[in-house]
Structure 1
Amino acid sequence: MSDIQISVALIAALFFLILLRVPIAVALIGISFVGIGEALSWRVAWGSLGIVPYQFAANWVLSSVPTFLFMGFICYHTQLTQGLFNAARVWLSRLPGGLAVASVFGCAGFAAVTGSSVACAAAMGRVAVPEMLRNNYSPQLATGTVAASGTIGALIPPSILMILYGIIAQVPISQLFLGGIAIGLLTMVSYVVLIIIMVKLNPSLAPAVQEDISAADRWAALRETWPVLLIVLGVFGGLFAGIFTPTEAGAFGAFLSCLVAMLKRTLTWTALKNTIFETVTTTSALLIIAIGASLLTRFLALSGLGEVILGLVIDLQLSPYEIILAIILVYLILGMMLEPLGAMLLTLPIFLPIVGEAGFSLLWFGVLVTKILEVGMITPPVGMNVFVIKSVVRNLISTSTIFRGVAPFVAADMVVVASMVAFPGLVLYLPNILG
């Protein structure tokens, strides 16, 4: 067998191992090691195991990952985000489906202090779903709204997916964040419009909330959001004004969130211990997968398979938009089986050269990939956000009901993705004027 044939067989074996539920980091590292050994020599393969992890982990920008994670976890465990849903509720409850609309706004607010869609869904699910069910909202609408709105967590900065994409694709992370803000807000608006239309067409989905809320109550609820507003303004105001680098912004955010929690008197030893533990374990899991992806990139380069794939795509003479459509379909399929980070890091070594050759902006592509992969968080059979909400409602609502609830939001997401492809300026406008 030629080197290319061996490489193709190993890539096929990689996908087979992943389908068998072998941890993606183990599959990536194992296949890349064997591939480099077969393509060159086993001495080079062993050398790569020593060099590549160090080269990747030594990237200074990576230190923003644990600091942003720490910021999100400390805000969650010290209940700094607790007032978000209540503020949205008292201001928006008069709208059709007002509590569902408030859930979307609450998730968007929580997204600004965490880079995880799962964390968004978990935090808002514990607050918003019981409130909607208590007010006789349809279980499908209540659970579907929160599961889908959680995906905004990976679009609005700080996004861990975007940080890792920026490092691998060599795209400025601050510009990715700016592009993500626009698409996160567009997603939020699309969900709100969808909810209002659904409730207008079928009022039984969300009966009007009979609650007398005074202007004083509204302003009092709004004041309770000051911890999140202070952290967001401090961190991202400094980042986008050029005062902080992404790394410094993460460190400042971690410090500021602790300071605010101390002022609120919610920073306990238990909260701090849980935050540190979750930050360390999550960072470790992310880094080992990313190191596996770096080894895969080296394997593709050394074996020549990456150049062969690029040549095949060029020979097919597909239009740039046909290429993007094919990539979107691949990501939608992978998103149904893999968690977003694994799907992204598995494919970037192959797709980045193709996208660059087709003439697309890698900044735009990074935001597009993030958006598409987050759709996978609410599609069967994996649908992580769906199972997070299921863990919140337990036996009260079936998993199939939650999946039916997110179906309209998946359709709204496809409209957003189509808009991003048709109008790249939706992503690029803010980076171009502020980047």
Structure 2
Amino acid sequence: MSITLSALIVLGLLALFLGAGAWIFSGLLLVGASAMYVILDFSPARIGSIATKVISSSAISWELAAIPIFMWMGDIIFRTDISQRLFRGLAPLVARIPGGLLHTNVLGCTVFAAISGSSTATTATVGKITIPELRRRNYDLKLAAGSLAGAGSFGLLIPPSIAMIVYGVLAEVSIAKLFAAGLIPGLMMAILYVGYITVMSMIDPSRAPKYDGEVTLRTILRGLVDLTPIVLLMFIVLGSIYSGIATPSEAAAVGVFGAILITIVTGQFSIPLMLDSLLSTIRVSAMILILIASSSFLSSAIAYMHLPGMITEGISAMDLSPYGVLLILAALYIILGMFLDGTSMTVMTVPIAVPLIVQAGFDPLWFGVYLVIMIEMSALTPPVGLNLFVLQGLTGQSMGETTRAAAPFFLLLCLGTIILAAFPQIVLWLPNAL
């Protein structure tokens, strides 16, 4: 059977099952099994044997243990007053910069991302504090919502990142090196956002009224004290990984211990808090892990059909430049991001995309960061932009207004991607130096 017909059958089956409203994990399983039966003429017994082996092996990967543990750490912090302390700590530091407290969205998300790993959790946690404060102080709600939508996606780029763990497992790339690769690009994007807010506020000062609070050495020092718990947790988690003392999974366990210790020291520890955070972590982790397992089965079906190799050869025959391949993948991810969440996009595309980018001469480590930025873009595109849904609930604006507010920051993500493509060492320098 030709590559075109095989690919069309797989895409048709995906459209059929997912369009019919099937859960994504069950849709992936059904597509894999149907493709094996229809295209490869495998018997049901053989399909069942393959499914058993692939799903069980993918589900027991030690690297995946980092996902629920990091998520538990973030969820514990999410249920404390750390985000309030974060706002209080950052406010005096940014008050005199053009844009004022709008910068707390970007800097708050940058800092919180280093202990969250989740885009929606970062957006919701920081937004619950900053949006009411900015609204009360008559800041431009459009710029506030847009900056939060864009910066909230740092939860995927700045380590520890759940998306990077998923990619690292699927692409067989070092997760510790992926974490290091995302750090400088994450800070670069934060600088781009801060610069944009500063310029827009200088053009129209009414967007960001002057800070009416006191800014003295005492308030700055008090703010640094408020930032101490979250900075210490960042240092413990990331420091243990980059120093080589702990693997990402071990560092996640240390992070959970640190998060529990923070709740005890700040007087917020309670059994209900721990149980609620644990149950929330189990629900979300189970969703992510079952997606990975089901996608591994679909990947096996695709591999049996030799689709990745044939697609790679087909695109190579088109004689596209390496950047042409990136452009095609970018268009694909932007379209997929309108309908799928980031984890689903990753597990569905990595088996085909990684051979393509390796063939084009790109480092899989660099591509991991590129993919995460593509996922960040998907969080800002309707109708399934998760950050947009979160912000719509926080601001009360319509989806159209929220999308328009996020549009400039979507374009800044595009600019950031172009910069990283032109200067890949921004991504590769730190992991190669460690």
Aligned to 1:431: 431
Query: What CA deviation, in whole Å up to 9, does each residue of 1:249-284 have, x standing for no partner?
Result: 111111121122112111112211111011100110
**Cα deviation, residue 323, structure 1:** 0.7
Aligned to 1:236: 238
**Cα deviation, residue 376, structure 1:** 1.2
Map residues 236-255 of structure 1 onto 2, 5 A cutoff: 236-255=238-257
Query: What CA deviation, in whole Å up to 9, does each residue of 1:66-92 have, x standing for no partner?
Result: 110111001111233431122111110
CA distance in 2, matches of 1:56, 1:158: 21
Aligned to 1:98: 100
What's the secondary structure of 2:379's corresponding residue? helix
Aligned to 1:383: 385
Deviates more, 1:216-225 or 1:187-196: 216-225
Which one-letter code corresponds to 1:417 in the other structure?
Answer: T
Which one-letter code corresponds to 1:12 in the other structure?
Answer: G
What's the secondary structure of 1:82's corresponding residue? helix
Aligned to 1:196: 198
Aligned to 1:27: 27
**Cα deviation, residue 50, structure 1:** 1.2
CA distance in 2, matches of 1:15, 1:163: 27
Which one-letter code corresponds to 1:201 in the other structure?
Answer: I
Aligned to 1:63: 65
Verify the 8 A CA contact 2:380 2:386 in the aligned structure 1: yes
CA distance in 2, matches of 1:161, 1:341: 7
CA distance in 2, matches of 1:17, 1:202: 50
Aligned to 1:372: 374
CA distance in 2, matches of 1:318, 1:352: 16
Query: What CA deviation, in whole Å up to 9, does each residue of 1:145-193 have, x standing for no partner?
Result: 1121100111111100000100111110011001111111011100000
Deviates more, 1:289-298 or 1:36-45: 36-45
Q: Which runs of 5+ in 1 are unaligned?
A: none
Verify the 8 A CA contact 1:154 1:161 in the aligned structure 2: yes
Choose from 295, 298, 305 the match for 2:297.
Answer: 295
Verify the 8 A CA contact 1:81 1:227 in the aligned structure 2: no
**Cα deviation, residue 377, structure 1:** 0.5
Verify the 8 A CA contact 2:189 2:416 in the aligned structure 1: yes
Which one-letter code corresponds to 1:426 in the other structure?
Answer: I
Aligned Cα root-mean-square deviation (Å): 1.5
Query: What CA deviation, in whole Å up to 9, does each residue of 1:221-259 have, x standing for no partner?
Result: 110112111111111111100000111111111112112
Verify the 8 A CA contact 1:113 1:158 in the aligned structure 2: yes
Which one-letter code corresponds to 1:398 in the other structure?
Answer: S
Aligned to 1:310: 312
**Cα deviation, residue 7, structure 1:** 5.3
Give the direction of change, closer, same or farther, for the CA distance of 1:323–1:250 in structure 2 (3 Å limit): same
**Cα deviation, residue 212, structure 1:** 2.3
Aligned to 1:421: 421
Query: What CA deviation, in whole Å up to 9, does each residue of 1:12-52 have, x standing for no partner?
Result: 22134334543221111110111123313222211122111
**Cα deviation, residue 336, structure 1:** 1.7
Give aligned pairs, total.
432
Verify the 8 A CA contact 2:171 2:351 in the aligned structure 1: no
Map residues 208-287 of structure 1 onto 2, 5 A cutoff: 208-287=210-289
Verify the 8 A CA contact 1:166 1:173 in the aligned structure 2: yes
Is 1:412 aligned to residue 412 of structure 2?
Answer: yes
CA distance in 2, matches of 1:401, 1:6: 41
Q: Which runs of 5+ in 2 are unaligned?
A: none
TM-score normalised to the size of structure 2? 0.96
Verify the 8 A CA contact 2:122 2:152 in the aligned structure 1: yes
Choose from 313, 326, 333 the match for 1:331.
Answer: 333
What's the secondary structure of 1:193's corresponding residue? helix
What's the secondary structure of 1:112's corresponding residue? helix
Which one-letter code corresponds to 1:227 in the other structure?
Answer: P
Deviates more, 1:204-213 or 1:106-115: 204-213
CA distance in 2, matches of 1:296, 1:251: 31
**Cα deviation, residue 357, structure 1:** 1.3
Percent of pairs identical after alignment?
33
Aligned to 1:207: 209
**Cα deviation, residue 2, structure 1:** 6.7
What's the secondary structure of 1:279's corresponding residue? helix
Which one-letter code corresponds to 1:305 in the other structure?
Answer: L
CA distance in 1, matches of 2:422, 2:4: 36
TM-score normalised to the size of structure 1? 0.96
Give the direction of change, closer, same or farther, for the CA distance of 1:227–1:336 in structure 2 (3 Å limit): same
Query: What CA deviation, in whole Å up to 9, does each residue of 1:362-409 have, x standing for no partner?
Result: 000001000111111012222210110111233xx3332221211111
CA distance in 2, matches of 1:196, 1:309: 45
